[in-house]
Amino acid sequence: RALAQRPSGIETCRPSVRAPPRSLGPRRRPGHPAGRAWHERTSMKSKETFSPKEPDEHKPELQDVIESIGMGPAQIFWALLGGGIWLADGAELLLVSSVTRSLQKEWQLSSFMKGAIVSAVYVGIFLGNASSGGCSQRFGRREMIVLSYSGIFLCGVLSSASKAAVALMGIRFFGGFFIGIGQPAWLSISAEITPAYWRIAMAAASQSLFVVGEMYISFLLMMDDLNMQARGSGRFLGMDVACRQSLHWRLLLRVGALPSLVMAMLSMAYLNESPVFLALKGRTREACRVVESMGRQNQSTPLSLDFKKPVSHRTDGSLLQQMSRQMAVVFSPRFLALRPASGFWRVSGLAGNGTESWSQGVSLVIMSVCFTLNMVYFGCLFAFPQVLPTLMHGQAASELLVGALWELPGLAMGLLLGISATRRTALKFYLTGLTCAILCFVVGAHGHPEHERLMKALLFIGYYGIKCLPNIGFIVAYQMSAEIYPTEARSMGAGLALACGRLAAMSSPLIFECCLELTGTYLAFFLMMAALCVSNLYMIDFLPEPTRLEHDDVQDLQDAPLKSSDRVQVV
């Protein structure tokens, strides 16, 4: 129609082969209100695309962003899901230590075999702690925690169907391995998502779940047999159960594994990965989403989501190569040089001049502290179910429950000391008090019968002190093991510290049985524990006082000489 109405004398134009321009639509036209907003967003994106990026040195670090969010429901939710690994740990360890007497009677086991069943759990925990660092750094902290819960439940169910001691020992070994693989992963997450001031509180809150696990098993033991010595069949949890000996241990193992199943399901659905780990792996968008969700849950605006990207050196290679590099960092000269951080050596000037940088044997000392701590705690955890039925007639199971409750004041003291005092002061306080408690227990158990009331009072003071005071050490020592290493080697450092502790824990049942068999009494075992605490007391001055997390400059730590810039920041 347009061609028909053209003026005369004008030639007909060839139709264009190009398609007409595509309409922007009413919402994208500049005159439309929505169109103006669209054009503004488009222009902003183009400016961001072609504008120079802000230099990394002007951006805040991710740890500073987390500090700006503060403590709140996000960290509490993390503690309930990830810290539940301590609940499963407490339930499994007390349950295995408690049923060994029934296993000895039913299967006619020797004292060595009875101790070896419990030691197999600690051997598995030792290997799990040692391998958790590399696995957590490669696959993620969250995946290790979920795997830990699932494996603990599976091994608990399988061990209840064991027909021989060797089969039970093998299954409990793998159960211990799954326990150990999740603990360093949670320690790393806890240190990375919590503001510096609240890290001790976070450690105390998560480790209090260990007490919840012990209380759960103590309650099951009380329902089964109050004194843990009665014979014959009966009813347990509303069911008729026939058993030749005291405890219905098969059903106890099944019911004791239920918390791990619940925590595995909740963690798979709701547990987030550490934002520091995600940023270290280059998954910046995921890290920003996690930080943003932390801000929403805490009702706090993050400082900035455009943070400085952490540097990771030489992330290529196999899992074994990455683990060897992380171990090289942990055992580098920076963390192995034995010079005291304070005390007589520094005051007198015998260790060097006043301007010299002070480097401490952090790795050796923290591993020694964890070794003594676990030797005392888990040795007594195995010894008390064997000793209390002979000392507290008619109330052994109830006293196990009361002893578990006495761990809560220890956690509270650890929280207060961790916030108000230095790390070294808290460790010295726990070692001194624990030595006194062990000696009170020994005197009360072997005292003269003429002073019955005094001896009974000393017995209970010692027992409750042994259950209470080690929790101060667990909070402070484990927190230090996660603070003093760089991000890339943090899980490995925490895992090796835990592994040294588990090395002591797996040998403690055998040491108790050997002392009992050689001397005919458990007095030598408790005196050995007191001597370990005293010797460990003099090593605390070698530890530093970390004020913030170590960062990621780990490229040359393996073979770099000690320099003033390499020292751990101390107060």
pLDDT score of 330 more than 70: no
| Cα dihedral across residues 241, 244, 246, 248: positive or negative | negative
Q: Residues 559, 326: contact at Cβ < 8 Å?
A: no
Express each pLDDT in 510-560 by its tens digit: 888 888 888 888 888 999 999 999 988 888 887 777 655 554 444 444 444
- Return mean pLDDT, the chain: 75
pLDDT, residue 280, reads 83
- Region 453-474: what's the mean pLDDT? 89
> Among the residues of 33-107, which ranges form H helices?
33-50, 62-69, 73-82, 84-107
Amino acid at 430: Y
- Region 220-236: what's the mean pLDDT? 60
Contacts with 417 (C-beta within 8 Å, 6 or more apart), sequence order: 425, 426, 429, 472, 476
Query: Is this prediction's pTM over 0.75?
Result: no
Q: Is residue 203 very low, low, confident or very high in pLDDT (cuts 50, 70, 90)?
A: confident
pLDDT score of 320 more than 90: no
> In whole angstroms, how far apart are CA 396 and each of 386, 390, 400, 508?
10, 9, 6, 21
pLDDT score of 346 more than 90: no
Number of helices and strands (H, E) in the chain? 23, 2
Burial (CB < 10 A; 0-12, 13-18, 19+), residue 396, is buried
pLDDT score of 344 more than 80: no
- Region 52-69: what's the mean pLDDT? 71
pLDDT score of 31 more than 90: no
> What would the two tokens of residue 218 be?
């103590």
pLDDT, residue 238, reads 47
Q: Is residue 278 very low, low, confident or very high in pLDDT (cuts 50, 70, 90)?
A: confident
pLDDT, residue 158, reads 92
Q: Residues 310, 90: contact at Cβ < 8 Å?
A: no
Look at the block and give the residue holding tokens 């010079």: 339
> In whole angstroms, how far apart are CA 361 and each of 169, 352, 467, 498, 501?
37, 16, 29, 17, 17
pLDDT, residue 133, reads 75
Q: Residues 376, 534: contact at Cβ < 8 Å?
A: no
Q: What is the CA radius of gyration of the chain?
A: 30
> What would the two tokens of residue 291 be?
């930080």
Amino acid at 478: Y
Please give the distance of CA 93 from its chain centroid, rounded to a whole number: 16
Q: Residues 279, 62: contact at Cβ < 8 Å?
A: yes
> In whole angstroms, how far apart are CA 352 and each of 102, 217, 571?
59, 53, 19
Distance CA 334, CA 353 (A): 19
Contacts with 128 (C-beta within 8 Å, 6 or more apart), sequence order: 148, 176, 177, 178, 179, 180, 181, 182, 183
Strand, helix or coil at 279? Answer: helix
- Region 450-461: what's the mean pLDDT? 85
Percent of the chain with pLDDT over 90: 11
pLDDT, residue 262, reads 92
Please give the distance of CA 70 from its chain centroid, rounded to a whole number: 21
**Closest C-alpha among 215, 259, 251, 273 to residue 402:** 215
pLDDT, residue 154, reads 93
Which of 24-28, 411-415, 474-478, 521-525 is predicted with the least confidence, judged by mean pLDDT?
24-28
Percent of the chain with pLDDT over 70: 71
Per the model's pLDDT, the better-predicted residue between 366 and 564 turns out to be: 366
Express each pLDDT in 287-309 by its tens digit: 888 888 888 888 887 766 777 77
Q: Is residue 317 very low, low, confident or very high in pLDDT (cuts 50, 70, 90)?
A: low
The DSSP result for 106-171, as a single string, is HHT--HHHHHHHHHHHHHHHHHHHHHHHHHHHHH-HHHHHHHHHHHHHHHHHHHTT--SHHHHHHH
Distance CA 476, CA 427 (A): 7
**Closest C-alpha among 233, 215, 211 to residue 224:** 233
pLDDT, residue 153, reads 93
- Region 50-54: what's the mean pLDDT? 45
pLDDT score of 174 more than 90: yes
Q: Residues 476, 414: contact at Cβ < 8 Å?
A: yes
Express each pLDDT in 96-154 by its tens digit: 878 887 788 888 888 788 878 888 888 888 888 878 877 887 888 899 999 999 999 99
pLDDT score of 362 more than 80: no
- Region 46-52: what's the mean pLDDT? 40
